[in-house]
Chain A
Amino acid sequence: MKNLLLYTAIITLLSSCIGDDFIDDRVDPVLRITDEIQSLEVNTMYQFNFAYFNNIGAEESVNPSWSSSDSSIIIIDDNGLATAIALGEAIITAEYVDEEGNIIEDIVSIIVDTSTVIEVEESKSGVIATTTFYDLSGTFTIDSNDDDIIINVADDYEASTGLPGLYLYLSNNRNSIANAREIGKVEVFNGAHTYTVADAGLNDYSFLVYFCKPFNVKVGDGEIQ
């Protein structure tokens, strides 16, 4: 009897230890030229900017190489500083080789003209879809408003009220809330509503992620397009 109780106690103690659950949070790294310049005035300079998100969607500081498809039109140095030399069109490429040897790049096509034109994208949109058996669906738009963004969830939005502790995040990894920005607890489960996110840009995040904190699982997401 004593042995039985002892074995039971040991098994209980061992099995009640905190273990590890692993989630598949691998994503393709992304290098994103964040400038929205369409044309560059000849004989002027322009500093290109970028953001790099690694294989878990975390922003990481890297030094990409910059190149121009036609150095007779635009030249660009190692820091992304471009100089428009002559009228025409060239493709600017930012390229980074990650730790696994993968080449990650982004390109923008720039016209060298008589004036510099920057057309800031003002809105993006997407579709919210469940990734579980909890109801979650709808569409949304995201508008830029100075230094903020406004997420407008549309009338067709619907979420299960049986789901405890649902939170909304902005993330660059649809499978994880690591490195994501928490917007807040979901308090509207049907119909249109908005979230204002301060100090955020339209191109800072790629996904809306709905996450259930008590269960610690992702419930759904929406790609920002």
Chain B
Amino acid sequence: MKNIITTLLFISVCNIAMGGGPWPQPKGKAYIKLSEWWTIFDQHYTDTGQIDPNLTTGIFNTSIYAEYGVTDRFTTVINAPIFSRSYMNNQRSGTTEEIIIQGEAINSIGDIDIGLKYGLTRPGANIPVSVTLTLGLPTGETSGGELGSLQTGDGEFNQYLKIDAGKSFQLGKASSYISIYGGINNRTQDFSEEFRTGGEVGIGLLNSKFWLTGKLDIVQSFNNGATAENANSTSIFANNSEFVAIGLEANLYVTRRVGISAGFANAVSGSIIAAAPSYSVGVFYDMSR
């Protein structure tokens, strides 16, 4: 369950469509987004990729995501789940309706990611390429609830290095872009390292006031972390989560710089990962326009 949540948090970060990509912010410009991301799931992908039921679990993150261009090639990035709520339903007897397992919830901040993006190519390059180092700080709750199975963070300090490349182009009269990324996530606390890759395509409609973005994210575990067999502590549950997720996000600029967004993502295959869609809504401020 912990890794499910950890991986879901990664999906939530991935779901920030209008930020990210290989394009650093121009010097002195910023992109800020306040968003609500959530998922409620009552089934999950097992370690063999099949779908099994679980007690209904919900995770809600209220996050601030921000990018700031320190120079035209250096951009600082932060993703801070300032309020994170995780809960599990009561399990009741279908015969007597008595509670068998008491539901519970925790509220805290989540794991905060801070990062630095560097543009390997000059601003305006035909195919911009950037590298980003993201540090995942274990600021969330790692074992809440009576059973210790509720969490808003994974308790490990990870270092995620990725490279992004992309290209913007015109599709008819519409501005469009495509980008891909790949990276390695080095994790501590006996969690397996991960290879992450994916990409997104976006098209700007209504004179680039309305952007539609499709996303693909893939996580493959190196399977070099702890398992239930060799973990010494009950605080380490599953490891080695993997998934292939697709997502769609819409962003509408309601003023020149302020906009609203809505999106969803869903793992179409996976291992030790929730088998349910996640949703997000947000409001953003884009100084680069």
Give the B-binding residues of A (Cβ under 8 A): 1, 4-5, 8-9, 12, 15-26, 55-56, 132-135, 160-166, 176-178, 185-187, 189, 213-217
Contact = CB atoms under 8 A, between A and B. Distances in A.
Q: How large is the interface on B (under 10, 10 to 19, 20 to 34, 35 or more residues)?
A: 35 or more
Contacts of B101: 216
B93 A164 contact: no
A218 B94 CA distance: 15
Contacts of B120: none
A21 B42 contact: yes
Given A177-B100, A178-B100, A217-B52, A23 B92 contact: yes
A134 B90 contact: no
Contacts of B60: 12, 16
A215 B54 contact: yes
B121 interface: no
Nearest to B48: A133
A16 B58 contact: yes
A171 to B, nearest CB: 12
A176 B93 contact: yes
Contacts of A189: 228-229
A16 B84 CA distance: 11
B116 to A, nearest CB: 31
A134 B40 contact: no
Contacts of A9: 36
Given A133-B46, A189-B228, A16 B91 contact: no
B215 interface: no
B228 A20 contact: no
Contacts of B55: 21, 215-217
B88 A162 contact: no
B207 interface: no
Given A162-B46, A163-B47, A216-B101, A19 B89 contact: yes
A217 B53 contact: yes
A98 to B, nearest CB: 12
Contacts of B3: 164
Nearest to B236: A164
B78 to A, nearest CB: 21
Interface of B: 1-3, 36, 38, 40, 42, 44, 46-48, 50-56, 58, 60, 85, 87-98, 100-101, 103-105, 147, 149, 227-229, 234, 237-238, 240, 254, 260, 271-272, 281, 283
Contact of B87 (A18, A187, A214): A18
Top-6 shortest CB links A-B: A162-B47, A164-B237, A133-B50, A216-B55, A214-B1, A18-B103
A143 B240 CA distance: 38
Given A161-B228, A164-B237, 15 more contacts: A1-B254, A18-B90, A19-B103, A25-B94, A132-B52, A134-B47, A135-B48, A160-B46, A160-B228, A164-B1, A164-B3, A164-B228, A187-B229, A213-B147, A215-B52
A217 B149 CA distance: 13
Contacts of B92: 20-23
Of B89, B91, B97, B98, most A-chain CB atoms within 10 Å: B91
A215 B228 contact: no
Contacts of B103: 18-20
Given A133-B50, A162-B238, A164-B237, A213 B87 contact: no
A133 B52 contact: yes
B147 A214 contact: yes
B87 A16 contact: yes
Contacts of A214: 1-2, 147, 149, 237-238
A15 B90 contact: no
Contacts of B98: 178
Contact of B89 (A21, A132, A164): A21
A22 B93 contact: yes
